[in-house]
Amino acid sequence: MNQYIKSRRIGFLGAGNMAQTMIRGLLETDFVVPEKILASNRTPGKLQKLSEQYGIRTTPNNEELVEQSDIVVLSVKPQDLLAALEPIARSFSQDQIVISLAAGVRMPVLEKLLPECRLVRLMPNTPSLIGRGVIGYLMNDDEDSALESTVEDLFSSLGQVLRMADEDQLEALMVACSSGTGFVFELMMYWQDWLMEHDFDQETARRMTVETFVGASLLASQSEQIPLEELQNRVASRKGVTTAGLQSMRELEIERALRISFEKAALRNSEIARDLK
């Protein structure tokens, strides 16, 4: 399969943060070479940087990008997607693979724009930059096992690639894992601030915070057979310090607060989807 991917040309339409993360991840594999990657962008600055940094090919012309790519990754913001696609929709060839990263742009909208293409919605998150992403995807044809293998082989260097059962699951993954990365940083800032209030300088407070999150995450990751609750119980002795803190977290209904934040993010995603219809 890697042989198949090796020969594919991959075009990124839009060369912003997520495209750059994915390009970097792809180039870390031994089956995607810079000459096989092409990127286009609205303004030229990012293209110049990408070609200097990674030696990939670039073009200011989206139509040319589509014509020269076997796999097109749509990596513009959701609100820019329709304007980017409409003028060039005819340039896509039959059965061309098109991978959309656009949050909120559901499969029926993509199918209407590109009815002849093999379509994938893919939802990465920023830890993909270091190969620790959670990447969900959905295909417009459930039976297309060749496309399934292509997506999994192509993006496994970015992290865990998970096939979703439907749009609902993909959107839940987006909230919990893509936006969720931002939510985790919010928590980390609370930890860091609290340590700084106890006279740690910012650098040390940051290091202590990050290592606590990394340590807990790696411990959970390396103890897959042990439920999270059990790992938590091992920290908390009866009537002890951790138990007092946990009890307070429950009394303050932190779970409810987080749940409401997740629902708000999901609602915003539905609003974007509605506006793009």
Ligand X SMILES: NC(=O)c1ccc[n+]([C@@H]2O[C@H](COP(=O)([O-])OP(=O)(O)OC[C@H]3O[C@@H](n4cnc5c(N)ncnc54)[C@H](OP(=O)(O)O)[C@@H]3O)[C@@H](O)[C@H]2O)c1
Q: How many residues bind ligand X (CB under 6 A)?
A: 28
124 near ligand X (CB under 6 A): yes
Q: What SS3 state is found at 139?
A: strand
62 near ligand X (CB under 6 A): yes
CB of 7 to ligand X, least distance (A): 25
Contacts to ligand X from residues 130-189, by CB under 6 A:
178
Of 11-19, 106-114, 141-149, 206-214, which segment contacts ligand X by CB under 6 A? 11-19
Beta bridge partners of 40: 13, 59
Question: Which residue bears the tokens 């009866």?
Answer: 238
69 near ligand X (CB under 6 A): no
- Tell me if 19 sits within 8 A of 53, measured CB to CB: no
CA torsion through residues 251, 252, 255, 260, sign: positive
| Smaller CB separation from ligand X, 43 or 222 | 43
Q: And the tokens for 205?
A: 């407070």
- CA distance readout (Å), 150 to 172, 180, 206: 23, 26, 39
| Smaller CB separation from ligand X, 15 or 139 | 15
| Smaller CB separation from ligand X, 25 or 78 | 78
One-character DSSP codes across 226-247: S-HHHHHHTT--TTSHHHHHHH
15 near ligand X (CB under 6 A): yes
| Smaller CB separation from ligand X, 102 or 195 | 102
- Tell me if 62 sits within 8 A of 83, measured CB to CB: no
Helix axes 241-251, 254-275, angle to 10 degrees: 50
117 near ligand X (CB under 6 A): no
Q: Which residue is nearest to ligand X (CB)?
A: 16
CB of 276 to ligand X, least distance (A): 11
Least Cα distance to 134 among 165, 166, 119, 156 occurs for 156
- What contacts 31, CB < 8 A, 6 or more positions away? 2, 5, 6, 153
18 near ligand X (CB under 6 A): yes
CB of 220 to ligand X, least distance (A): 23
The correct pick among 58, 69, 75, 157 for binding ligand X (CB under 6 A) is 75
Contacts to ligand X from residues 29-48, by CB under 6 A:
40-43, 46
77 near ligand X (CB under 6 A): yes
Q: Which stretches of the chain bind ligand X, using CB under 6 A?
A: 13-19, 40-43, 46, 62, 75-78, 80, 83-84, 101-103, 123-126, 178
